[in-house]
Structure 1
Amino acid sequence: MNAKVTSVFLYVSDIVRSRDFYHEVVGAGVVQELAEYEGGPIALVVLRFGSFTIMLHPQDAHDEEFRDQRLGLGIHLQIQVEDVDRFYQHCIEQGAIIGVSGEPVDQSWGWREFALRDPDGYVWSVYQDKSDGHWTS
Protein backbone atom coordinates (compact mmCIF):
# COMPACT_ATOMS: atom_id res chain seq x y z
CA MET A 1 0.00 0.00 0.00
CA ASN A 2 1.46 3.35 -1.04
CA ALA A 3 0.56 6.43 0.95
CA LYS A 4 1.71 10.02 0.71
CA VAL A 5 1.14 12.81 3.21
CA THR A 6 -0.10 15.78 1.20
CA SER A 7 -1.41 18.31 3.71
CA VAL A 8 -1.90 19.40 7.29
CA PHE A 9 -4.99 21.06 8.77
CA LEU A 10 -4.16 23.52 11.56
CA TYR A 11 -6.67 25.16 13.87
CA VAL A 12 -5.61 28.73 14.62
CA SER A 13 -6.74 31.53 16.93
CA ASP A 14 -6.40 34.33 14.33
CA ILE A 15 -6.65 33.13 10.75
CA VAL A 16 -5.42 36.41 9.21
CA ARG A 17 -2.36 36.56 11.48
CA SER A 18 -1.57 32.91 10.70
CA ARG A 19 -2.09 33.40 6.96
CA ASP A 20 0.31 36.33 7.03
CA PHE A 21 2.89 34.32 9.01
CA TYR A 22 2.84 31.37 6.61
CA HIS A 23 2.80 33.59 3.53
CA GLU A 24 5.15 36.43 4.49
CA VAL A 25 7.55 34.73 6.91
CA VAL A 26 7.61 31.11 5.75
CA GLY A 27 6.94 31.78 2.06
CA ALA A 28 3.88 29.63 1.39
CA GLY A 29 1.70 30.68 -1.52
CA VAL A 30 -1.91 31.56 -0.70
CA VAL A 31 -4.02 29.30 -2.91
CA GLN A 32 -7.50 30.03 -1.62
CA GLU A 33 -9.46 31.87 1.05
CA LEU A 34 -13.05 30.90 1.77
CA ALA A 35 -15.85 32.39 3.86
CA GLU A 36 -18.97 30.45 4.82
CA TYR A 37 -21.08 33.22 3.27
CA GLU A 38 -20.38 36.25 1.12
CA GLY A 39 -18.88 39.04 3.18
CA GLY A 40 -18.43 36.73 6.17
CA PRO A 41 -15.22 36.10 8.07
CA ILE A 42 -12.58 33.86 6.55
CA ALA A 43 -13.36 30.24 7.42
CA LEU A 44 -10.50 28.52 5.59
CA VAL A 45 -7.15 29.54 4.12
CA VAL A 46 -5.29 27.12 1.87
CA LEU A 47 -1.54 27.66 1.44
CA ARG A 48 0.97 25.62 -0.50
CA PHE A 49 4.68 24.79 -0.34
CA GLY A 50 5.40 22.93 -3.56
CA SER A 51 3.10 19.90 -3.42
CA PHE A 52 2.38 20.19 0.33
CA THR A 53 -0.72 22.05 1.51
CA ILE A 54 -1.42 23.81 4.81
CA MET A 55 -5.08 24.45 5.56
CA LEU A 56 -5.85 26.98 8.29
CA HIS A 57 -9.20 26.98 10.06
CA PRO A 58 -10.37 29.26 12.90
CA GLN A 59 -10.32 27.41 16.21
CA ASP A 60 -13.21 29.42 17.70
CA ALA A 61 -15.74 27.48 15.62
CA HIS A 62 -14.57 24.40 17.55
CA ASP A 63 -14.24 25.86 21.05
CA GLU A 64 -15.95 22.87 22.62
CA GLU A 65 -13.42 20.44 21.09
CA PHE A 66 -10.48 22.53 22.34
CA ARG A 67 -11.76 23.32 25.82
CA ASP A 68 -9.04 21.29 27.58
CA GLN A 69 -6.37 21.61 24.89
CA ARG A 70 -3.87 24.20 23.80
CA LEU A 71 -3.29 24.97 20.12
CA GLY A 72 0.09 23.93 18.77
CA LEU A 73 0.76 21.40 21.51
CA GLY A 74 2.00 17.99 20.44
CA ILE A 75 2.75 18.63 16.80
CA HIS A 76 6.16 19.32 15.27
CA LEU A 77 6.45 19.94 11.53
CA GLN A 78 9.44 20.30 9.20
CA ILE A 79 10.40 22.56 6.32
CA GLN A 80 13.40 21.84 4.12
CA VAL A 81 15.14 24.89 2.64
CA GLU A 82 18.18 25.36 0.41
CA ASP A 83 19.98 27.78 2.73
CA VAL A 84 18.94 27.52 6.37
CA ASP A 85 21.10 30.42 7.51
CA ARG A 86 19.56 32.77 4.96
CA PHE A 87 16.05 31.55 5.89
CA TYR A 88 16.86 32.08 9.58
CA GLN A 89 17.93 35.67 8.85
CA HIS A 90 14.71 36.23 6.88
CA CYS A 91 12.66 34.97 9.86
CA ILE A 92 14.52 37.31 12.22
CA GLU A 93 13.88 40.25 9.87
CA GLN A 94 10.18 39.35 9.74
CA GLY A 95 9.93 39.16 13.54
CA ALA A 96 9.24 35.41 13.74
CA ILE A 97 9.47 33.68 17.11
CA ILE A 98 12.75 31.76 17.01
CA GLY A 99 13.00 31.09 20.75
CA VAL A 100 12.55 27.35 20.39
CA SER A 101 16.14 26.56 19.45
CA GLY A 102 18.09 29.70 18.69
CA GLU A 103 20.41 29.96 15.71
CA PRO A 104 20.84 27.13 13.18
CA VAL A 105 23.06 24.29 14.40
CA ASP A 106 24.69 21.33 12.67
CA GLN A 107 23.19 17.97 13.69
CA SER A 108 25.05 14.65 13.75
CA TRP A 109 22.72 13.19 11.08
CA GLY A 110 23.73 15.84 8.54
CA TRP A 111 21.08 18.51 8.91
CA ARG A 112 21.67 22.13 9.78
CA GLU A 113 18.50 23.34 11.46
CA PHE A 114 16.65 25.65 13.79
CA ALA A 115 13.09 25.69 15.07
CA LEU A 116 10.48 28.41 15.19
CA ARG A 117 6.91 28.72 16.41
CA ASP A 118 3.93 29.98 14.45
CA PRO A 119 1.50 32.40 16.13
CA ASP A 120 -0.41 29.51 17.75
CA GLY A 121 2.64 27.63 19.02
CA TYR A 122 2.99 25.01 16.25
CA VAL A 123 6.69 24.16 16.10
CA TRP A 124 8.48 23.98 12.76
CA SER A 125 12.00 22.59 12.31
CA VAL A 126 13.58 24.41 9.41
CA TYR A 127 16.48 22.45 7.98
CA GLN A 128 19.03 22.20 5.23
CA ASP A 129 20.09 18.66 4.35
CA LYS A 130 23.89 18.65 4.30
CA SER A 131 24.23 14.86 4.52
CA ASP A 132 25.40 14.43 0.90
CA GLY A 133 22.45 12.18 0.13
CA HIS A 134 22.64 10.02 3.27
CA TRP A 135 19.35 11.39 4.55
CA THR A 136 16.25 11.01 2.42
CA SER A 137 13.37 13.29 3.19
Structure 2
Amino acid sequence: MDEPTPPDAAEEPEQQPLAHVWIIAAEIKVEERIAKVADFRGSFTTDVGTRVDALEVYCRNCRRPYEDVAENDCEALIDNRHLIGGDQSQRAKRKVPEPPPAARLLPGGVIQRRGIGSYISGVSRPAR
Protein backbone atom coordinates (compact mmCIF):
# COMPACT_ATOMS: atom_id res chain seq x y z
CA MET A 1 0.00 0.00 0.00
CA ASP A 2 1.15 3.47 -0.82
CA GLU A 3 1.24 5.94 2.03
CA PRO A 4 -0.04 9.44 1.27
CA THR A 5 2.77 11.91 0.88
CA PRO A 6 2.74 14.91 3.19
CA PRO A 7 2.08 18.26 1.51
CA ASP A 8 5.09 20.38 0.70
CA ALA A 9 6.01 23.09 3.17
CA ALA A 10 5.90 25.61 0.32
CA GLU A 11 2.17 25.00 -0.21
CA GLU A 12 1.17 25.93 3.36
CA PRO A 13 2.13 29.40 4.59
CA GLU A 14 3.84 29.49 7.97
CA GLN A 15 1.59 30.56 10.80
CA GLN A 16 3.14 33.30 12.88
CA PRO A 17 1.04 33.56 16.04
CA LEU A 18 2.32 37.04 16.87
CA ALA A 19 1.99 38.48 13.37
CA HIS A 20 -0.75 41.00 12.64
CA VAL A 21 -3.42 40.26 10.04
CA TRP A 22 -4.06 43.65 8.45
CA ILE A 23 -7.49 44.46 7.04
CA ILE A 24 -8.89 47.66 5.58
CA ALA A 25 -12.31 49.12 6.16
CA ALA A 26 -13.08 50.56 2.75
CA GLU A 27 -15.56 52.81 1.02
CA ILE A 28 -16.40 52.16 -2.63
CA LYS A 29 -18.87 54.19 -4.64
CA VAL A 30 -21.12 51.85 -6.66
CA GLU A 31 -24.19 52.02 -8.87
CA GLU A 32 -27.63 51.14 -7.53
CA ARG A 33 -27.73 47.74 -9.24
CA ILE A 34 -24.40 46.74 -7.69
CA ALA A 35 -25.56 47.97 -4.28
CA LYS A 36 -28.66 45.79 -4.60
CA VAL A 37 -26.57 42.70 -5.43
CA ALA A 38 -24.10 43.45 -2.61
CA ASP A 39 -26.93 43.84 -0.13
CA PHE A 40 -28.44 40.50 -1.17
CA ARG A 41 -25.25 38.45 -1.50
CA GLY A 42 -23.00 40.20 0.97
CA SER A 43 -20.30 40.69 -1.67
CA PHE A 44 -19.73 42.16 -5.12
CA THR A 45 -17.07 42.44 -7.81
CA THR A 46 -15.47 45.75 -8.67
CA ASP A 47 -14.33 46.94 -12.06
CA VAL A 48 -10.64 46.93 -12.93
CA GLY A 49 -9.01 50.17 -11.91
CA THR A 50 -11.61 51.08 -9.28
CA ARG A 51 -10.11 53.37 -6.66
CA VAL A 52 -10.93 52.29 -3.11
CA ASP A 53 -10.84 54.80 -0.25
CA ALA A 54 -9.44 53.23 2.93
CA LEU A 55 -11.40 54.43 5.93
CA GLU A 56 -9.36 52.54 8.51
CA VAL A 57 -6.49 50.03 8.58
CA TYR A 58 -6.42 47.71 11.57
CA CYS A 59 -5.43 44.21 12.69
CA ARG A 60 -8.17 41.60 12.41
CA ASN A 61 -6.97 39.75 15.52
CA CYS A 62 -6.22 42.47 18.07
CA ARG A 63 -8.49 45.16 16.51
CA ARG A 64 -5.91 47.89 16.96
CA PRO A 65 -5.09 50.58 14.37
CA TYR A 66 -2.06 50.17 12.10
CA GLU A 67 -0.32 53.34 13.23
CA ASP A 68 -0.50 52.28 16.90
CA VAL A 69 0.89 48.74 16.64
CA ALA A 70 2.66 48.38 13.27
CA GLU A 71 6.11 47.82 14.80
CA ASN A 72 4.88 45.60 17.67
CA ASP A 73 3.82 41.96 17.76
CA CYS A 74 0.12 41.18 17.76
CA GLU A 75 -1.14 40.85 21.32
CA ALA A 76 -4.42 39.05 20.53
CA LEU A 77 -3.10 35.64 21.60
CA ILE A 78 -1.17 37.04 24.54
CA ASP A 79 -3.72 39.30 26.18
CA ASN A 80 -7.05 40.10 24.57
CA ARG A 81 -8.68 41.81 27.55
CA HIS A 82 -8.74 45.20 25.85
CA LEU A 83 -11.49 43.89 23.56
CA ILE A 84 -13.83 43.18 26.47
CA GLY A 85 -13.16 46.34 28.45
CA GLY A 86 -10.49 45.09 30.83
CA ASP A 87 -10.40 42.49 33.56
CA GLN A 88 -14.01 41.50 34.29
CA SER A 89 -13.32 40.75 37.96
CA GLN A 90 -12.10 44.29 38.62
CA ARG A 91 -14.69 46.28 36.68
CA ALA A 92 -17.33 48.21 38.57
CA LYS A 93 -20.91 47.01 38.19
CA ARG A 94 -23.31 49.14 36.21
CA LYS A 95 -25.28 51.60 38.29
CA VAL A 96 -29.05 51.46 38.05
CA PRO A 97 -30.36 55.04 37.93
CA GLU A 98 -32.76 55.98 40.68
CA PRO A 99 -36.04 57.53 39.56
CA PRO A 100 -36.79 61.09 40.70
CA PRO A 101 -38.55 61.36 44.10
CA ALA A 102 -41.96 62.28 42.62
CA ALA A 103 -41.90 59.58 39.92
CA ARG A 104 -44.37 56.67 39.88
CA LEU A 105 -44.06 53.34 38.06
CA LEU A 106 -47.18 52.54 36.08
CA PRO A 107 -47.90 49.02 34.88
CA GLY A 108 -47.82 48.75 31.11
CA GLY A 109 -50.30 47.00 28.87
CA VAL A 110 -50.08 43.37 27.85
CA ILE A 111 -48.15 42.82 24.63
CA GLN A 112 -49.27 39.90 22.49
CA ARG A 113 -46.04 38.30 21.26
CA ARG A 114 -47.38 35.07 19.73
CA GLY A 115 -50.03 34.11 17.26
CA ILE A 116 -51.97 36.04 14.64
CA GLY A 117 -52.74 38.83 17.09
CA SER A 118 -49.04 39.74 17.34
CA TYR A 119 -48.71 39.79 13.55
CA ILE A 120 -51.69 42.04 13.09
CA SER A 121 -50.64 44.39 15.89
CA GLY A 122 -47.18 44.85 14.36
CA VAL A 123 -44.98 43.19 16.96
CA SER A 124 -43.31 40.86 14.47
CA ARG A 125 -43.19 43.32 11.58
CA PRO A 126 -42.22 46.98 11.52
CA ALA A 127 -44.92 49.61 11.24
CA ARG A 128 -44.86 51.54 7.98
TM-score range, shorter chain: under 0.3
Larger C-alpha radius of gyration, 1 or 2? 2
TM-score by length of 1: 0.20
> Of Structure 1 and Structure 2, which has the larger fraction of its residues in strand?
1
